[in-house]
Chains A and B, each alone.
Chain A
Amino acid sequence: MTLPFIVGLGSHQGDDQAGWLVLERLQERHYPRARLIRLQHPADLLDVADIEQSLIICDACNGNGEPGSIHRFLWPSDQLCCRRASGSHDLTLCSVMELGRQLGVIPEVAELWALEGENWTAGTEPSEAVRSAANGLADRIWENHCHA
């Protein structure tokens, strides 16, 4: 069975590195490197996604949960897209997913994992809660897809 592409979205702003941390842990566990994709902008997803390949996206979020909480969504999900874009020129993950579906590059269904963060300061390290949650999530993904 072909393993899914796993995309980690992030930036160098504290807990926003959550998606990247998931990839680092999966790499440690020898998940095939070619199927781990580290991105900074949601729009870059359109360059790397493949409609024929299953897709998992890991990103940080800022919701109501405790730092380190993990949410799972299945795309398409209304729950995920209730939030308004922060600006008309921003391409949020939701709008990129929708656009990608129209352009035929995003698979019909994708799995999205969101990790609650608390610190978004540029240049800072991720919090221990997020680091630990990212490791836990990576292990869970590995178990689901590599151990089964």
Chain B
Amino acid sequence: MSSSEIIQVPILTRVEGEGGVTIRLGEGGIESVTLNIFEPPRLFEALLRGRPLEETPDITARICGICPVAYQMSSVHALEAALGVQITPTIRRLRRLLYCGEWIESHALHLHLLHAPDFFGASSGIELAQRFPAEVKRGLQLKKFGNRLLEVLGGRAIHPVNVKVGGFHRLPNRHDMAALIPHFEAGVLAAVEATRWVAAFPFPDFEYAYDFVSLSHPDEYPMNEGDIVSSTGLRIPVTEYNQHFVEEQVAHSTALHAVRRHRGTPYLLGPLARVNLNRDRLMPLARRLADEVGLSANCCNPFKSIIARGLELVHAYEESLAILRDYDASGPASIRYRARDGAGCAATEAPRGLLFHEYRVDSQGQIVSGRIVPPTSQNQKQIERDLLDYLTRRLQAAASRSEMAVDCERLVRSYDPCISCSTHFLKVRWEERS
């Protein structure tokens, strides 16, 4: 194949980690599209083996600088399942608050500085700031309040240090929590304005019949608990994850691809999946805003993920405010436990989607085995499928190759992939000479 038959986007920009896209063109159109992930494997699961289980939340948090809370939450819930630990309602609420802080940090920045530039032909958030200084300032302010929340509750904004199996090392003091309230009152309003702004963007006309997957809880918008549900009718407890989802190795990526086990089909996680599957459990203002901005009930346009991200930003601010306003610092910071043989798993909702962890621990409190399935590796196959469909349409519409290369980046950015997270595993096969 000559080089003229390949379009390459060598490095994807404004995504976390190192990845690229290769499009192979044949006589009949696009033959294949591959999302090439060449970030080196991280080997975190092997690193955990033989270490005290208490180290797991802080070690796994190091997988990602954007979503460390997600790794901490999935790991502590999985280990608490293995140890039979029941946390208190206060700890449970504070964990939701911590997660809100992470969603705020991640969504505010992605929405304003990473994704919004695509809708105005700007090459970066810095270029966008020339045209929309007030909006970019608002985005930074929104992110900053998320940072402050993580500092108060987690000890620091990136890689918080206050999370432990059984709860927290210490509960935040009431004064520090109360001091956040005025910022979050302003933040709710700013998040609403941000969502209205992005909802008016010109969206490409593209839809896909997704199999959306997320956690779902009867009483609340999903974060730390719930069943796994899909838009195609699946509803299972998290303990059955492995019976319905499987990871596969592919030649062009250091990250595994996940598919539905029996169908071999891709699925989509993340804000759009969560909003579509749990819209009625958004906080009241976010729910009304979803109607106001006209997001359809089962939106299947991946570019509109930015609206879903905005709604979750509003939700996270609203829920944070509710928790901050009636924070009660009484009760233990953590629940004591005894080491025992056991296994447990948990899934929580990282900003990019469902993050599954499972661990086996021994009677000495050491990790025997661990497995982590991050959202971006679960989304990869669907991203490739979307690229193939979307670029085929663009080719039929006589888009040039350079335009298609730009289209690739824009579509991939709409999923806010975290490539560094996805390269958690490398299967090594030894072949011996006979």
List residues of chain A with CB under 8 Å of any chain B CB. Answer: 11, 40-41, 43-44, 46-47, 86-91, 95, 98-99, 102-104, 122
Contact = CB atoms under 8 A, between A and B. Distances in A.
B36 interface: no
Nearest to B419: A88
B7 to A, nearest CB: 23
B133 A103 contact: yes
Contacts of B143: 43
A89 B65 contact: yes
Contact of B16 (A88, A99, A104): A88
A43 B133 contact: no
Interface of B: 14-17, 65-66, 105-106, 109-110, 114, 125-127, 129-130, 133, 136-137, 140, 143-144, 147, 156-157, 161, 420
Given A91-B109, A91-B140, 20 more contacts: A11-B156, A41-B144, A41-B157, A43-B140, A44-B144, A46-B140, A47-B144, A86-B65, A88-B14, A88-B66, A88-B114, A89-B106, A89-B110, A90-B65, A98-B126, A99-B126, A99-B129, A102-B126, A102-B133, A102-B136
Contacts, number: 54
A89 B66 contact: yes
19 contacts: A41-B144, A41-B147, A41-B157, A43-B144, A43-B147, A87-B16, A87-B420, A88-B14, A88-B66, A89-B105, A89-B106, A89-B109, A91-B140, A99-B129, A102-B126, A102-B130, A103-B133, A103-B137, A104-B133
Nearest to A43: B140
A88 B127 CA distance: 16
B66 A87 contact: yes
Contacts of B140: 43, 46, 91, 99
A88 B157 contact: no
A95 B147 CA distance: 18
A128 B90 CA distance: 43
B106 A95 contact: no
B391 to A, nearest CB: 23
Contact of A103 (B110, B136, B157, B161): B136
Contacts of B106: 89
Contact of A46 (B105, B137, B161): B137
Nearest to A97: B126
Contacts of A87: 16-17, 65-66, 420
A109 B387 CA distance: 43
A87 B136 CA distance: 19
